[in-house]
């Protein structure tokens, strides 16, 4: 599995909290969210449609495509 993680890291995009880049879609097919705050290993996010907030793994968020 570590080979898959290494390949995925090539597509990782750091989140710019000051630009439209902070809007992403979970796994490319899930709901759109706004990244609000960097919390180390996690990012605080808000789902655009529902206003629900939760902590999301930063490594996963960096792999998500723009919304």
Q: pLDDT by residue (tens digit) across 15-57?
A: 999 999 999 999 999 999 999 999 999 999 999 999 999 999 9
pLDDT of residue 1: 47
Q: List the structure tokens of 17.
A: 């909290």
**Closest C-alpha to 34, from 63, 61, 12:** 61
What domain range includes position 39? 2-63
Helix (H) or strand (E) holding 21: none
Counted domains in the chain: 1
Q: How far is 56 from 43, CA to CA, in rounded Å?
A: 5
pTM to 2 decimal places: 0.82
Q: How confident is the model at residue 11 (pLDDT cuts 50, 70, 90)?
A: confident
């Amino acid at each position: 599995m570590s080979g898959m993680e290494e390949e995925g890291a090539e597509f990782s995009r750091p989140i710019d909290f000051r630009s439209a880049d902070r809007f992403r879609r979970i796994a490319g097919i899930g709901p759109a969210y706004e990244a609000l705050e960097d919390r180390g290993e996690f990012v605080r996010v808000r789902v655009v449609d529902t206003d629900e907030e939760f902590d999301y793994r930063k490594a996963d968020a960096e792999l998500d495509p723009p919304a």
